[in-house]
Structure 1
Amino acid sequence: MSDHRSESPRPEHASGSPEPADPPGASGAGAPGPAKAQLSKPAQVPAESGIPDPAVPDGRDTVPEPPKVPKYAQQAHPQPPPAPWGYNAKRAPSELTRIRPAEPGVIPVATLWTVLATALLSALLLGDGIGPNLLVVAVPAALAAYFAARAAGRRLRPWTAVWAVGGLSLLAVPALRDAGWPVFLAIVSAVAVGSLALHGSRGWLGIFLGSLGLLTSVAGSLGWGAHGVRDRMADSRGRWGVVFRSTAVAIVLLVVFGALFASADAAFADVLGSLMPDVSLGEGPWRLFLAVIGLVGALAAAYTAAAPVRWDGVAVPPGTARGRLEWALPLIVLNLLFAVFLAIQVTVLLGGYGKVMAETDLSDRYAQYAREGFWQLLWATLLTLVVIALALRWAPRGGARDRTLVRAVLGTLCLLTLVVVASALRRMDLYVEAYGLTRLRISVAAVELWLGVVLVLIMAAGVFGAKLLPRAVAASAAAGVLAFGLVSPDGLIAEQNVHRYRQGHSIDIQYLRGLSADAVPALDTLREPLRSCALQEIQRTLRSSDAPWYATSWGEARARDILGDWDPGVRARDCQGLGPGDGGSERGGDGGDSYDPYDPY
């Protein structure tokens, strides 16, 4: 056995390294020491030989050898240790991370050129006023967004096209109307609708945040544009140099030969002067500011089109469903209150306003009945919409019977509210008959009419489904602003007041003279000296304005054609002395109420 042990090869470790040589005396007959017993390996003797090894102690006293590979290393996918503070280190992504898009790719060349074109047109055209130039500047900005979206792989969807066309259509209002207040509403609405076209939101919160979401892309768009320009310059410096040199030569040639032709022909000089913007050195800072605004706006639109924020990803937890009785009882009581009120309104309509006013001591003030009720009905309509929104949030959602109950109760409420809207509009009609039409009255009447449209849309959603309701409400608001600007509110105000005057009512010339040039066609039909008193301020404003064609609205151009070089002269000298019935400042009707606290304008 000693020869066998001396001739057998030395075993290797699991790692492949050779076993260390035994120390001298280890092969003697004496028992090994403790250290030697721990170093001895039972695997050195084949298990099938059946020959006991005297160097190995009895199995009852042998400690099992630990595995050569640790247990944690034997697992296919070891688990990480638990977090020390009791929560997992891998947390779910936050709400902001989930709705934020990935960074867009390199800005396309077409987008760069259209952004630069927007900045240049903003500096040249927007400094002289607002008119068709705003639509001209918006076209390259829209193209920049289109090129960026196409490069990012986005497709043109139907609602995106609706929002885009709607936004550009709203910018037609500054090109047509001279009045500042509908123009302001149209511009704000165009920006909101354009932002919706870039984001593509669908839900209520997405529609609201998406209309303002263009502002969140300003900071990211600046870095995106700067990196794109730097990369393009680094990749093709020679080509960009050719473009810059060619552009500089073309500008020099245009200036030189344009100046020669303008000095040779006065007609060509007039045409060239009307077409080219008049940019002076003193307007440099203002023009530079407009260029920056155009550049940032177009770049933000392109960045949003390439990587829109998914505002629909903002989760709104649903409200707690209520029981049928708890939910329906307050609404049924409200419906009964509406029904009683409307029954009285029907009685008034059938009996006539004259009889009602005689019975309520309002015969001496014809429009008092209308003035006292319109504003309350307007607020009632607004609060009803709030009640409907809260009721839908807490409505029972148990099954088909619950859906039928919700549709019946809320449908009845919407229908009764529509009658309230009709009653409010009728009261406004009486109000206008007694006091005349003003900017505030036509504005609140338009709002009341739009609220009626919203109620109709809610009723349609209860029948056909509410999937399109948020976008339909937003589209109706944009369409309402567009229609409000196209009908020319100042022109309607002038026409209605002139019509009342011809029927024997008084007219407020002091109010009408503060209208815009859109009112000139109606005011031009007044007899003298009312005509001169009404048009004096408008003609003075038109004469002092030297805005070019691209900053002149169609309403202003039409007023210039009507008035021409007309001078009111001495005919407008005694405007302050006009008495009631001849155009004095009496705002009341024929009843003598000369003050209207609900109309500060």
Structure 2
Amino acid sequence: MSDHRSESPRPEHAPGTPEQADPPGAAEARTPEPAQVQMSKPARSGTPEPAVPDERDTVPEPLKVPAHARAHPPRPPAPGGHTAERTPSELTRIRPAEPGVIPAATLWSVLATALLSALLLGEGIGPNLFVVAVPAALAAYFAARAAGRRLRPWTAVWAVGGLSLLIVPALRDAGWPVFLAVVSAVAVGSLALHGSRGWLGIFLGSLGLLASVAGSLGWGVHGVRDRMAGSRGRWGVAFRSTAAALVLLIVFGALFASADAAFADVLGSLIPDVSVSEGPWRLFLGAIGLVGALAAAYTAAAPVRWDALAVPPGPARGRLEWALPLIVLNLLFAVFLAIQLTVLLGGYGKVMAASGPSDQYAQYAREGFWQLLWATLLTLGVIALALRWAPRGGARDRTLVRAVLGTLCLLTLVVVASALRRMDLYVDAYGLTRLRISVAAVELWLGVVLALIMAAGVFGAKLLPRAVAASAALGVLAFGLVSPDALIAEQNVHRYRQGHSIDIQYLRGLSADAVPALDTLSEPLRSCALQEIQRTLRNSDTPWYATSWGEARARDILGDSDPGAPARNCRGVGSGDEESGRDGDSGGGGGDSYDPYDPY
């Protein structure tokens, strides 16, 4: 039997009257398969229904949604009548899923980091910073292993580099290289947790720990709550055992310390002296350590994929439009460098004979260095823009890009060498200072970056972003290990022995790292140069874990002696011949005027 028997009888039309056609658009407004919809309504009687359709039949029934469509319902329209984006947002693409329950080993490592931060970081920074960083690194390692992440070669490189940078606070007393090393260690450690590769990923990945602070707090709270809910008995046992051990240590430690003075001294040097007035400061340091370790563990378990934020390349330019400005720039560089090589290598003596006084000699070297430093920085920007708009038609375009930019990099390397030569001439004339050694180090690193760009043009640019970041971290590490304050003191003492003047007022403001070199001066220069450093060391009672090796060595050299009479009146001491020790601003003879480029 046919299924049409269940249909309601259709209304009959008058003979000769054609059946009305559906108006345009009526087919789209109908529900799917109208005949089947009517089949579900059996006739009430055997007589035909009236020709006037029922009002219920005119209302379209809802569409039948297939099963595969029900699993992913459509998104609501966006405000303004536009449909919502079907592709995930940028934040959704880079943010991974929430990590699982925090591992117990991670919790204990975070707690150890917070406790060590509160106990060890209150008196200053030294070897204690490395001690605090070890449990924080273990917390990240345990979280990453629980999340199923594997240790990759570059992750190991960043992790070792970050911990190596923390050696600088343990060795050096000077605050400025220590600050650079600590900031670089945090950035490199963040790169180890994120594993970025591209330029934007390297930049954002070095700051990525800040984006994980809020999520890590909730992750840690939920993890502690879940674990305590399932093992209240074990946590109670651990708490009672720890409290009993602490009570026994305090009671018997106090008894033994009162019984033996030597034991009391050893115990006092090992245990931090925590007073009631330092309570808020200690709690703040503990909170910083807890949040930092928890953010590192959260990032290790669920890192943000910063590399997903790709920067699209710029529109490719034609060969002539792209190459002509760069070729003109190369010619300008070549002419300038030809003159520089003639002056600095062959005809520098004639220039000096014509310039006369030494202040013009310094002016020639000083001004040229700063202009060449800016020229190097601007050249790196030009190279970045040129690579963005470079022609990308085929092998001939690649050859053109490599030839033009390779020539520009090579000429810029000669500019770097010329700038460093000028700084060397300036230092020979007026001594080394913190600003001069800093900008010379930056110029040297820019030369390394240019060499890496040239190598990328030959071997490929896949590793270039990570290589540049690694070179910056290595530069900061090397800058701290060579001890810039010690180099400044050694160079100025050497110039003084060669018959030049020495600026004691500037050298006395250096850190304890400069003591070995300043200790070799004759009196009264020695006492005047070491007066401030020795007073600082005598008034400081920093414990062993916050004392750097440079400070400990200075204490051994100076001892507890008083500078005495030689240091009572140091006014005018340390300046004297035809030029001043610090560009003529020390009260010496007719030297160069105050140097606005070197306020330090």
- Among residues 413, 425, 434, which one is paired with 2:429 in the alignment? 434
Q: Indicate yes or no: 2:235 matched with 1:236.
A: no
Q: 1:182, 1:485 within 8 Å by CA — same for their partners in 2? A: yes
Q: Indicate yes or no: 2:143 matched with 1:144.
A: no
Q: How does 1:89-108 map to 2 (within 5 A)?
A: 89=84, 91-108=86-103
Aligned length: 551
Measure the CA separation in 1 of the matches of 2:579 and 2:397.
Answer: 62
Q: Indicate yes or no: 2:447 matched with 1:463.
A: no
- Deviation string 1:52-89 (CA, Å, 9 cap, x unpaired) is xxxxxxxxxxxxxx9xx999659887899996966434
Give the letter aligned to residue 249 of structure 2: L
Q: 1:164, 1:197 within 8 Å by CA — same for their partners in 2? A: yes
- Deviation string 1:340-398 (CA, Å, 9 cap, x unpaired) is 01101121134242212334566663322101200000000000000000000000000
Deviation, 1:584, is 10
Measure the CA separation in 1 of the matches of 2:345 and 2:135.
Answer: 58
Gaps of at least 5 residues in structure 1 are: 1-10, 23-35, 41-65
How has the CA–CA distance of structure 1 residues 255 and 349 changed in structure 2, closer, same or farther, with 3 Å as cutoff?
same
Q: How does 1:309-320 map to 2 (within 5 A)?
A: 309-320=304-315
Deviation, 1:329, is 0.3
Q: Indicate yes or no: 2:250 matched with 1:255.
A: yes
Structure (1 or 2) with the larger CA radius of gyration: 1
How has the CA–CA distance of structure 1 residues 223 and 448 changed in structure 2, closer, same or farther, with 3 Å as cutoff?
same
Q: 1:507, 1:584 within 8 Å by CA — same for their partners in 2? A: no
How has the CA–CA distance of structure 1 residues 75 and 109 changed in structure 2, closer, same or farther, with 3 Å as cutoff?
closer
- What secondary structure is seen at the aligned counterpart in 2 of 1:315? coil
Measure the CA separation in 2 of the matches of 1:578 and 1:89.
Answer: 76
- What secondary structure is seen at the aligned counterpart in 1 of 2:466? helix
Gaps of at least 5 residues in structure 2 are: 8-35, 52-56
Q: 2:201, 2:306 within 8 Å by CA — same for their partners in 1? A: yes
Q: 1:366, 1:591 within 8 Å by CA — same for their partners in 2? A: no
Q: How does 1:175-190 map to 2 (within 5 A)?
A: 175-190=170-185
Measure the CA separation in 1 of the matches of 2:485 and 2:350.
Answer: 35
Q: Indicate yes or no: 2:409 matched with 1:398.
A: no
Q: Indicate yes or no: 2:439 matched with 1:444.
A: yes
How has the CA–CA distance of structure 1 residues 415 and 584 changed in structure 2, closer, same or farther, with 3 Å as cutoff?
closer
TM-score of the superposed pair, with normalisation by structure 2: 0.87
- Among residues 410, 414, 425, which one is paired with 1:419 in the alignment? 414
- Deviation string 1:268-297 (CA, Å, 9 cap, x unpaired) is 111111000000111101000001000000
Give the letter aligned to residue 219 of structure 1: A
2:49 maps to: 38
1:521 maps to: 516
Give the letter aligned to residue 318 of structure 2: G
2:124 maps to: 129
- What secondary structure is seen at the aligned counterpart in 2 of 1:378? helix
How has the CA–CA distance of structure 1 residues 359 and 583 changed in structure 2, closer, same or farther, with 3 Å as cutoff?
closer
Q: Indicate yes or no: 2:131 matched with 1:162.
A: no
How has the CA–CA distance of structure 1 residues 237 and 579 changed in structure 2, closer, same or farther, with 3 Å as cutoff?
closer
2:596 maps to: 597
Q: How does 1:188-199 map to 2 (within 5 A)?
A: 188-199=183-194
Give the letter aligned to residue 450 of structure 1: W
1:31 maps to: none
How has the CA–CA distance of structure 1 residues 174 and 583 changed in structure 2, closer, same or farther, with 3 Å as cutoff?
farther
Measure the CA separation in 1 of the matches of 2:403 and 2:184.
Answer: 35
1:372 maps to: 367
Measure the CA separation in 2 of the matches of 1:324 and 1:376.
Answer: 31
Deviation, 1:136, is 0.3
> 287-296 vs 265-274, which deviates more?
265-274
Measure the CA separation in 1 of the matches of 2:254 and 2:186.
Answer: 39
1:33 maps to: none
- Deviation string 1:549-573 (CA, Å, 9 cap, x unpaired) is 0000000000000001121111112
Measure the CA separation in 2 of the matches of 1:364 and 1:210.
Answer: 47
Measure the CA separation in 1 of the matches of 2:300 and 2:469.
Answer: 20
Q: How does 1:181-580 map to 2 (within 5 A)?
A: 181-359=176-354, 365-578=360-573, 580=575
1:112 maps to: 107
Measure the CA separation in 2 of the matches of 1:74 and 1:566.
Answer: 91
TM-score of the superposed pair, with normalisation by structure 1: 0.87
Measure the CA separation in 1 of the matches of 2:210 and 2:280.
Answer: 24
Measure the CA separation in 1 of the matches of 2:69 and 2:549.
Answer: 75
Q: 1:115, 1:140 within 8 Å by CA — same for their partners in 2? A: yes
Q: 2:358, 2:591 within 8 Å by CA — same for their partners in 1? A: no
Measure the CA separation in 1 of the matches of 2:66 and 2:187.
Answer: 57
How has the CA–CA distance of structure 1 residues 86 and 527 changed in structure 2, closer, same or farther, with 3 Å as cutoff?
same
Q: 1:199, 1:308 within 8 Å by CA — same for their partners in 2? A: yes
How has the CA–CA distance of structure 1 residues 241 and 349 changed in structure 2, closer, same or farther, with 3 Å as cutoff?
same
Measure the CA separation in 1 of the matches of 2:66 and 2:91.
Answer: 37
Q: 1:354, 1:363 within 8 Å by CA — same for their partners in 2? A: no
Measure the CA separation in 2 of the matches of 1:388 and 1:95.
Answer: 28
Q: 2:430, 2:581 within 8 Å by CA — same for their partners in 1? A: no
- What secondary structure is seen at the aligned counterpart in 1 of 2:48? helix
How has the CA–CA distance of structure 1 residues 76 and 170 changed in structure 2, closer, same or farther, with 3 Å as cutoff?
closer
- What secondary structure is seen at the aligned counterpart in 2 of 1:128? coil
Measure the CA separation in 2 of the matches of 1:72 and 1:569.
Answer: 99
> 388-397 vs 358-367, which deviates more?
358-367
> 450-459 vs 344-353, which deviates more?
344-353
Identity of aligned residues (%): 85
Measure the CA separation in 2 of the matches of 1:369 and 1:480.
Answer: 28
- What secondary structure is seen at the aligned counterpart in 2 of 1:38? coil
Deviation, 1:582, is 8.0
How has the CA–CA distance of structure 1 residues 71 and 107 changed in structure 2, closer, same or farther, with 3 Å as cutoff?
closer
1:54 maps to: none
What is the root-mean-square deviation of aligned Cα atoms in Å?
2.5
- What secondary structure is seen at the aligned counterpart in 2 of 1:37? coil
Q: 2:501, 2:574 within 8 Å by CA — same for their partners in 1? A: no
